[in-house]
Structure formats: C-alpha cells, structure tokens
C-alpha cells in the first residue's frame, strides 16, 4: 500500500465532511431528516437547511427534547440525524439516549461535532473527553470516530443504511485530509494505513494522522510500525487487532479521549481476553482540559505526535 504523503495533504474540517454528506444524502434520501439544537451552522448544515427546509427541525437550546423528538420521528420510517456538540449530545442527555434511543433500539443517528480537546479555546466545559466511553457502554449503540474529512463524509453516508442507533463523533478544526476520496465506509472494519512488523498502533479520530507521523519518524530509526485506523469503536474490529498483534507482539492505542472508557480500554479488553500482549495508551490522563489552541492542548495533555513516539518506544521495551 502507498505511504501516506505527509507533505501533500490539504486540511479540512471533519464537521464539513459531515455537512457535505448530509447535503448529498438530502438529495437522494427522502426519509432523512435533520435536527439540531441551535448549532446548524457549526455542524456545517447550511446547504441541507437551505435546500431541504421541510426536513430540518431546530430544537433550540434543548438537547433532551431533541433526542426524544428524534426517537419519535423514527416511528413511521424517518431517519433522524440529531446534531450538536459532543458534550451536549452525550453527557447532557445520557438518560434520554439510554431509554428512548438505545433501549428502545430506535434508528437515530447522533452526530456530534467539537469533540475532545481540539475544540480549543472554549475550554473544558465544552471539551468532552468521556463521550466514547459513555456511548460504547450502551447496548445497541454503534460508535464511529472517523479520522478526517473524507472518512467523516463516507461514514455519514454509510450510517444511513445501518438500522439502529449510531453515535458519530467528529471535530472542529481543520486537519489533514488523507483518507482516499470516495472510498466507501464499512462499519466495523478497520483500515491498515501502513504495514509494519515491530509494533501495532491502533488510533481513531484526529490521532490517526498523529500516529502516521509518529510511524514515519520511527522509520528513520528502523522501527517498523503498523498503523491501523480504527474508525469504528463499537463493534470493534477484533480480527484486525489480533491479526496485527500476532505479527508485532505489542500495541499502542491513541485517542483524543480520557484514558478510561475509550479506544484504549476497548483494545485492552481484546488483548487480555484473546491475545495477551503489552499495550501503552495515548490518551488524556484522567483530567479536564482548558482553553488554548488545538495544537497547544494536544501537546500539553499528552496526545501529540511525540507522545505516540514515546509510547511506541516504551511498549517495545516491554515485549
């Protein structure tokens, strides 16, 4: 497979990938409806809103009701995409999601932007780092964290054909757009972005590109890193993890999320029960964030490229 070219990539927002996909879906899927809680512009929904006003519903700043309305709208065959910032679409409305969406097993797509530290200057009140854990604990829930614009767009188009609740998590800033354009998204299937033999890095979201950067830096030291883009957190592609770790013998996970409850825990569960192997987890260390630029925050809170490099070097000593 071709190496990802770190020099040539344009930067785009993952949320724009979501908004562009919704506009395309609106044109071909009459059953799709969109709700937002006063964040239609931030979710890049302007084209959908302009062209399909009859299928767009603003709930105002009232996320609990929005989730309930979305659950009700599934009855009669509509596919509601309920949108907000990740903080307000998970923790704030957990019981509504648990009862009216997950337990009732309704075909609601919860689509959340501004997840994690890279929300930036708004600070810790808005920087949710617990949402992957909250959502993956719920039975019936599918959890997807795409890596870039192209993959967010593809994932958005894929979940419309998946019957059942989905949590789709993306972010605010412009980030490198490196996944192949036009490639369809398969829920539950990981993508090996770079093959290697010494260590497996399993990453999601914005940390996928950081992991590729780390892998290419370590290539200069003759360390062969396999990089897996684990865009579906639940159901987890256990086969892809096991196939890789059987070859490499150790794992690093990388996520823009708390240490507890996220991708690292999910992968650790696979390893401990199926194929014990050393693992290091690159994640936020059980603390809240603060105001700052996305780059400053990722560096300060230990989820930057050097942190992935350090974790790889550490896990190699434990093999």
Partner 1 sequence: MADIGHLQRIASQVRRDIVRMTHGAKSGHPGGSLGCVEYMVSLYFDVMDIRTDFSMDGKQEDLFFLSNGHISPVWYSVLARRGLFSVDELSTFRKIDSRLQGHPATAEHLPGIRMASGSLGQGLSVATGAALTKRLNGDKHLVYSLHGDGELQEGQNWEAAMFAAHHKVDNLIATIDWNGQQIDGPTDKVMNLGDLEAKFAAFGWKTLVLEDGNHMPEVLRTLETAKTYTGQGQPIVILMKAHMGYGVDFMVDDYKWHGVPPNDEQLADALSQLEETLGDY
User: Which stretches within the chain are classed as H helix?
Assistant: 14-28, 46-51, 63-73, 94-96, 131-136, 149-159, 207-219, 238-248, 263-274, 294-300, 305-317
SS3 166: strand
Residue closer to partner 1 by CB (options 140, 197) is 140
State the nearest-atom distance from the C-beta of 96 to partner 1, in Å. 6
Q: Which two tokens stand for residue 248?
A: 């490499």
Q: Is 74 in the site for partner 1 (CB under 8 A)?
A: yes
Q: Which of 17, 19, 40, 68 binds partner 1 (CB under 8 A)?
A: 68
Phi-psi label, residue 288: left if phi above 0, alpha if psi -120 to 50, beta otherwise:
beta
Binding string, 27-66, against partner 1, x = CB under 8 A? Answer: ------x--------------------xx-x-xx-x-xxx
Cβ(212)–Cβ(6) below 8 Å: yes
Token digits of residue 86: 């990740």
Reading the block at residue 186, the tokens are: 């398969």
Residue among 29, 47, 92, 105 that touches partner 1 (CB under 8 A): 105
Of 103 and 318, the one with the shorter C-beta distance to partner 1 is 103
Query: CA-to-CA distance for 256 and 266, rounded, in angstroms?
Result: 14
Report whether 237 contacts 188 (CB < 8 A).
Answer: yes
If one asks whether residue 77 binds partner 1 (CB under 8 A), the answer comes out as yes
Q: Is 22 in the site for partner 1 (CB under 8 A)?
A: no
Of 10, 13, 30, 63, catalytic = 63
Determine, following the binding rule CB under 8 A, whether residue 264 of this chain makes contact with partner 1.
no
Instruction: Give least dist CB 54 to partner 1, A.
Output: 7
If binding is defined by CB under 8 A, does position 200 make contact with partner 1? no
Q: Is 183 a catalytic residue?
A: no
Using CB under 8 A as the binding rule, whether residue 110 contacts partner 1 is answered as no
Encoded tokens for 284: 């936020």
Q: Least separation, in Å, of the C-beta of 235 and partner 1?
A: 19
Q: Which of 4, 69, 145, 311 binds partner 1 (CB under 8 A)?
A: 69
Task: Say how far apart CA 60 and CA 76 lie, in whole Å.
Answer: 24
Residue 225 phi/psi, 5° resolution?
A: -110, 130
Contact positions with partner 1 (CB under 8 A) in 133-162: none
Question: Does 70 engage in binding with partner 1 (CB under 8 A)?
Answer: yes
Helix, strand, coil percentages in the chain from 3-state DSSP, rounded to 5: 40, 20, 40
Q: Among residues 84, 100, 150, 194, which is the contact residue for partner 1, using CB under 8 A?
A: 100
Q: Is 294 left (phi over 0), alpha (psi -120 to 50) or beta?
A: alpha
Interface residue list for partner 1 (CB under 8 A) = 33, 54-55, 57, 59-60, 62, 64-78, 80, 95-96, 98-100, 103-106
Q: Which residues are catalytic, by number?
A: 63
């Amino acid at each position: 497979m071709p190496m990802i070219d770190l020099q040539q990539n344009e930067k785009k927002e993952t949320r724009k990938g979501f908004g562009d996909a919704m506009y395309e879906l609106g044109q071909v899927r009459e059953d799709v409806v969109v709700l937002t809680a006063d964040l239609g512009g931030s979710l890049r929904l302007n084209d959908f809103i302009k062209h399909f006003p009859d299928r767009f519903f603003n709930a105002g700043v009232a996320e609990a009701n929005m989730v309930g309305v979305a659950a009700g709208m599934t009855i009669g065959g509509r596919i509601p995409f309920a949108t907000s910032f990740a903080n307000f679409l998970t923790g704030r409305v957990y019981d509504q999601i648990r009862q009216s969406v997950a337990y009732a097993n309704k075909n609601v797509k919860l689509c959340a932007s501004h997840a994690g530290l890279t929300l930036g200057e708004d600070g810790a009140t808005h920087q949710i780092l617990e949402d992957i854990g909250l959502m993956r604990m719920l039975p019936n829930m599918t959890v997807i964290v795409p890596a870039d614009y192209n993959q967010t767009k593809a994932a958005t188009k894929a979940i419309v054909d998946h019957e059942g609740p989905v949590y789709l998590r993306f972010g605010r800033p412009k980030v490198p757009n490196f996944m192949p354009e036009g490639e369809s998204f398969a829920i539950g299937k990981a993508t090996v972005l770079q093959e290697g033999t010494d260590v497996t890095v399993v990453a999601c979201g914005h940390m996928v590109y950081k992991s590729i950067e780390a892998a290419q830096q370590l290539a200069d030291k003759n360390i062969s890193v396999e990089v897996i883009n684990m865009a579906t957190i639940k159901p987890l592609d256990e086969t892809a993890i096991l196939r890789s770790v059987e070859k490499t013998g150790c794992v690093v996970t990388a996520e823009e999320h708390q240490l507890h409850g996220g991708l690292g825990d999910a992968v650790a569960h696979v390893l401990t029960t199926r194929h014990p192997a050393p693992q290091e987890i690159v994640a936020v260390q059980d603390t809240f964030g603060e105001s700052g630029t996305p780059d400053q925050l990722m560096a300060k809170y230990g989820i930057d490229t050097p942190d992935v490099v350090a974790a790889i070097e550490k896990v190699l000593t434990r093999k």
